[in-house]
Structure 1
Amino acid sequence: MKVLKATAWLLGILTLASCHSALQNKTWKEGVVTEEFLFEEAPYPSCHAATIVEATNGDLIASWFGGTHERNPDVCIYVSIKSKGSDKWSEGVQVADGVMKEGPRLPTWNPVLYQIPKGDLLLFYKIGPSPSTWWGMLIRSSDNGKTWSNPEKLPEGFLGPIKNKPVLLANGTLLCPSSIEGDGWHLRMESTPDFGKTWQMGDTVSRGKDTINAIQPSILFHKGKKLQAIGRTRNRHLFSTFSKDNGITWSDISLLNMPNNSSGTDAVTMKNGQHALIYNHVWPNKDQIKGIRSPLNIAISKDGINWDAALVLEDSRIGQYSYPSIIQGADGMLHCIYTWRRQRIKYVKIDPSKLVSLPIVNGVWPGPTKDRYKVAVCDWMILKRQKLSAFELAKEIKSDGIELDMGGLGNRETFDSKLGDPAERQKFIDKSKETGVEISSIAMSGFYAQSFAERETVEKMVNDCIETMKNMNVEIAFLPLGTQSDLLKNPELRPKVIERLRWAGEQVNKIGGVIAVETSLDAAGDKKLLEEIGNHNIKISFNFANAVDNGRDISKELKTLGRDNIAQIHASTTDGVWLQNNKAVNLPEIKKTLDDMQWSGWLIIERSRDVNQVRDVKANFGANAAYLKSIFNN
């Protein structure tokens, strides 16, 4: 027995060592062949719920709904085609709407594509005011998605596949994974033996003793006639249920030790018998059923129960990546499509033979966490504004990055910046690579003293910053509203500030970036401001000093503001003492709060200098960087 235990212990150590070794070179992008958007801009502000299929001629067909916003009556169903051998998707064409012969126009929802072998292409969708009151619709195409039939309403009570693709069983029956909402969430299976001409309703699947609320199933194939349904819940976990009789009856729903943030998933059984799952690997907080919809991940499994981490398709604080669809093409490639920030639809092609996967143990995505939080310093505060020597000094301080300033403003038309000169800008890029010190963000610190609300050339200033972000591949711009646009002292400036920030958000969206705004408001005020701006590319740069100076608890403020509203954190206070000596800053508690929120990003040191040695850059910033890292990277 001792020998067996020792052997097991050794095998465990070897496995851990092997995983650690594999992680050293893991990019989480292995196997990705193509990443592209179906369109750069659409004639509607919001889109969602994409589906994809391979037509009989080898073309890829995609569909989604788009309109003003989800539930709006103007939401319609669109289709785009990527012809076999083409490198471009066609312009999205409207193929269905919710215009009623009698009564008000209604929104459309959740298109689902299915290609009948050697037959028509089917497009299922829903019409109705809400998911609890919608009904099923169907249109058909006999020319690979170019033209479509008149809409058919499914028989009373039938919804068709609710989000994810139907599957064809060996007996010729098309099994449609469906679900209903309203009085709790319930799974059920609908089927058609003749591709939509007649329908059969399956039993509602038992929610089990734990009353699991589950919807939007995907169907996986196992040996024999065994099927598995897997998907979304309100119970923080993915659900699973099995059928041993080809989908006629199903086991009670159970929960997998895999996270679900109450967001849609999809899965497919590959030709090699393994299963691929696309989903947000996000655990909601224990007292919540919903969680943020980033990152977007792919996992693979041999048994549908134990999953291995394979890919991270998206991981950004800017927006959500959700409602994915996945298929395997005739060429063996995986084809994925999903909502990108509710603004565009993104397509990814993956070679499954090149996937590199690692076990997901106890629901934890594998990998080191040290890069979850990174520490940076402001170049102007270490007395190196727009100087190449800032990188060497930051490295000596043991900072991971620099918040690089655009330069002073004064009475100039725009910032006094070297970074508009390609040759000068390249020097900074090269120095960053040479030292290993990243550029965390581009700062417009000139607005600490100048008025963002009233300067006439604000558009040029912001555009110059965005152009610098684009050319230096930096995601975040820092914008302090400062003393001249303080919304507490100057509330009359609020409409103008909102107008200009809304415009700035539209501009930075063009490069996929975000503007992090620092205000004098509390967290509730910041959150309300963001709601009024209404642009996901405008977020908050949270400052410890604002909370501490006004007697507010940092952790409570962070919770109030919320993970998705925080672009970066200025993790320092007004000068006085180092962070480690400041009793108003409970850094371990702050880390726990951010961990629970699943936030990640840059912690930027601006001040917290010891007043007795305020000009000693190395001592002040070195001490604060060391303390932040001792807590956040331990």
Structure 2
Amino acid sequence: MQYAKLPGLTWDGTIYHNSDMGTLEALLPTGGYPTAHAPAMLELPNGDLLCCWFAGTYEGSADIHIICSILPKNSPAWLPTVDISGDSTRSEQNPSLFYGPDHAVWAMYTAQLDRQEGKDNMQYTAMVRCQKSTDGGKTWGPYETVFPEEGTFCRQPIQILSNGRWIFGNWLCTDSKDGLSDDPSVFRISDDEGKTWRMVMMPKSNGHVHPNVVELENGHLVAFMRNREAHRIHRSESFDWGETWSKPAPTPLPNNNSSISALRLQSGRIAIAYNPTCTPNPQSGKAAWPGLRCPVAVALSEDGGLTFPIVRWMERGEGFIGDENKTNNRQYEYPYLMQSVDGALHLAYASHTRAGVKYVRFTEQDVLGEKRERVGLYNPTAAQSR
């Protein structure tokens, strides 16, 4: 079937077929907010998709809050956004979505105090809250503070291990000159479905944050982390269900001190979405901010995340290469990667320098470069071409 050529994506959630990339793409509705950042997604039992992110004037300001859009199963467009949170005294950030045993959607996010004069970063005041939806993301109940310890930050959703244990990757932000360089990764562990939690520290993980937990086999876990030195994605291992962890070690993948997203695919491969850029001369223990958050790539590993021989750029941005051209590229950052029951991969990230959130749907075969029919990826009659 032939589709009309359209000029490009629009901020209304309409899904288009990108014939060049072989992907399906959409710019999600913005809700009228000037900035959007840190998206997360979830597939519901009925096949609907949810995407949430934080929106408002500027990260760290008290008007920043969590909003959500729904993609009904087989729909050609994402729906207008709804508000999840709204504490006028705190900046609510870094949401994640989890389908709980109570058949409710849990939105977990951080809530930090508003900006203060002379303080650029109030993350050391953050706590983790949870709000729930029992109607598939249309409406949300009041918040509950789950982790009141100040400085607690999160990004990856709660992971359920094969023995039923819950593990939730966090990091601890401090109020110090080198706070961002010194923040360690920790894990919250629950063996009673979230009724009680205890904390496990990752040794020598200062400056390694945003841990993404992946279970390779029963009790054998790996965590992939953002590196504040902006050099490499780092990896740590646990062989006892997350009770103890190894010192983080660098992987071959570059990291620009920006968030990553890792998961184990149905095929058994590890997939990581990230910005494939880094600072060439990292300084040990010192946070770096190269500012180059373009393009967005997905890398695949067949050895538990030790090597990544397959990498594909899923977002090319404006297409300029090299540090000298970075001002010609807009920012495409904080990717979130998930796989739905049908095997399709779903990628969301802050797009066009946080103007909104972009959504991309593709398959593992698209990353591998294998030729295949577009079966099970999406109903092409519901998508337009561009």
Same fold (TM over 0.5): yes
* 1:108 corresponds to which of 85, 92, 113: 92
Answer whether contact 1:139 1:151 (CA < 8 A) is retained: yes
Match of 2:15 in 1: none
* 1:49 corresponds to which of 38, 44, 61: 38
* 1:348 corresponds to which of 333, 350, 360: 360
Match of 1:137 in 2: 129
Q: Residue 365 of structure 2: SS of its match in structure 1?
A: helix
For residues 58 and 84 of structure 2, the distance between their equivalents in structure 1, rounded to whole angstroms, comes to 18
For residues 261 and 176 of structure 1, the distance between their equivalents in structure 2, rounded to whole angstroms, comes to 23
For residues 61 and 158 of structure 1, the distance between their equivalents in structure 2, rounded to whole angstroms, comes to 28
* 1:33 corresponds to which of 23, 28, 38: 23
Per-residue deviation at 1:357? 5.8
Per-residue deviation at 1:67? 0.5
Deviations 1:500-521 (A, max 9, x none): xxxxxxxxxxxxxxxxxxxxxx
Shift in CA distance, 207/65, structure 1 to aligned 2, threshold 3 Å: same
Give identity over the alignment, percent: 27
* 1:335 corresponds to which of 313, 330, 346: 346
Answer whether contact 1:56 1:118 (CA < 8 A) is retained: no
Amino acid at match of 2:262: A
Shift in CA distance, 287/248, structure 1 to aligned 2, threshold 3 Å: closer
Per-residue deviation at 1:247? 1.1
Answer whether contact 1:111 1:126 (CA < 8 A) is retained: yes
For residues 309 and 293 of structure 2, the distance between their equivalents in structure 1, rounded to whole angstroms, comes to 20
Answer whether contact 2:125 2:151 (CA < 8 A) is retained: no
Deviations 1:552-595 (A, max 9, x none): xxxxxxxxxxxxxxxxxxxxxxxxxxxxxxxxxxxxxxxxxxxx
Deviations 1:412-463 (A, max 9, x none): xxxxxxxxxxxxxxxxxxxxxxxxxxxxxxxxxxxxxxxxxxxxxxxxxxxx
Answer whether contact 1:192 1:200 (CA < 8 A) is retained: yes
Deviations 1:174-217 (A, max 9, x none): 21011112241201001233443322222x21126xxx510001
User: Which one has the largest radius of gyration?
Assistant: 1
Match of 2:301 in 1: 301
| More strand by percentage | 2
Amino acid at match of 2:25: E
Answer whether contact 2:293 2:333 (CA < 8 A) is retained: yes
Amino acid at match of 1:256: T
Q: Residue 283 of structure 1: SS of its match in structure 2?
A: coil
Per-residue deviation at 1:266? 0.4
Q: Residue 154 of structure 1: SS of its match in structure 2?
A: strand
For residues 277 and 369 of structure 2, the distance between their equivalents in structure 1, rounded to whole angstroms, comes to 18
Please say if 1:128 is aligned against 2:112: yes
- CA RMSD, 1 decimal: 2.3
Answer whether contact 1:47 1:339 (CA < 8 A) is retained: yes
Deviations 1:60-113 (A, max 9, x none): 0010010011111111110110001101111111110223xxxxx121111111
* 1:81 corresponds to which of 66, 70, 85: 70
Q: Provide the aligned length of Structure 1 versus Structure 2.
A: 322
* 1:175 corresponds to which of 148, 167, 177: 167
Amino acid at match of 2:301: S
Per-residue deviation at 1:159? 7.5
Per-residue deviation at 1:133? 1.6
Q: Residue 154 of structure 2: SS of its match in structure 1?
A: coil
Answer whether contact 2:126 2:153 (CA < 8 A) is retained: no
Gaps of 5+ in 1: 1-28, 100-104, 359-472, 474-634
For residues 209 and 111 of structure 2, the distance between their equivalents in structure 1, rounded to whole angstroms, comes to 18
Amino acid at match of 1:334: L
Answer whether contact 1:122 1:138 (CA < 8 A) is retained: yes
Q: TM-score, normalised by structure 2?
A: 0.78
Please say if 1:207 is aligned against 2:204: yes
Answer whether contact 1:280 1:294 (CA < 8 A) is retained: yes
* 2:271 corresponds to which of 260, 276, 279: 276
For residues 224 and 151 of structure 1, the distance between their equivalents in structure 2, rounded to whole angstroms, comes to 34
